[in-house]
Amino acid sequence: MLLACSSDDDNPQTEGQQPDLRIKKFTQMIYHSDPNDNVKVVRTFDQSGRPIRESEEYTDNQVYWLFSYNNSDLISERTRHYQDGSKFRADEFHYNLNNQIDSLVNKDAQGNIGGVTYYNHSPNKITYHHGLLQGEYNYNADGIITKIHANGDFSSSTITITYSSDNISQITTQRSTGETETLSFQYDNKLNPLHPNFHNNYFNSTIGEFVHFLYKENYFSKNNFTQINYTHTDPSNNYTITKNTTYDADGYFLSAEIKKNNVLVEEQIYEYY
């Protein structure tokens, strides 16, 4: 098999061409300074692009999520399991007559309700509350999230998301503590094979299944990110993430290495139907 790196501009799978292959499995090996904290995350998709399972494999145990969907292809339940298959958490999603999220119910292994998040809808906005936590998602005219606000009992934060075409170019978080942190993204012109799954299942990918979808930088942009610059109010916290991707001769992602300040922190493997 011929290989090409992300700097190869002759790669045939470039901007404007939708990949023919559909992602089947995305594997991340995430490394920490203490090897006992390393984790292997394996995310499996069905042929329509919906995630159906995500496992987390640690040194001495494994846990995993299973995802279920209703007849409208909206996520209906996600369940959390130990390695032996026993369930210890369930999140149930309920929708109104317009197929808009109405509530999210969290249950333990015995089916006891541990908490409920309630949602309300208005033009270009979804608000929610869960106990003392309140927040809102703000959307642009295309139905894409541009701002997220969360307000707890002791602190609050506002996240502003800036787009350049179909890519997120910057994420800025301002906290009530006075801290500001910014993630700035750079991309090549290759098409991200994970993005169609994210884009075509946008609710499931943002409010539904992902919860904190802004941590899913491998998914949310159309093109392949090559670098992320993180800046903080305290410059000693700044860092740079770089990603080096390996493609096959047809331009499909095979694997990637991610480094933080030149230290390897993650390896990725892509598999297709």
> What pLDDT was estimated at residue 207?
84
CA distance 149 to 172: 12
Contact status, residue 191 vs residue 222, Cβ threshold 8 Å: yes
Prediction pTM value: 0.88
The model's pLDDT over 208-266, given as tens digits with 9 standing for 90+, comes to: 765 577 888 999 999 999 999 999 999 999 999 999 999 988 888 999 999 999 999 99
Contacts of 263 (CB under 8 A, 6+ apart): none
**Residue predicted with more confidence, 120 or 250:** 120
**CATH number reported for the structural domain that contains residue 101 in this entry:** 2.40.160
Total domains in the fold of the chain: 1
What is the domain range of residue 217? 3-272
The model's pLDDT over 37-93, given as tens digits with 9 standing for 90+, comes to: 999 999 999 998 899 999 999 999 999 999 999 999 999 999 999 999 999 999 999
> Measuring CA to CA, which residue among 172, 162, 264, 272 is closest to residue 221?
162
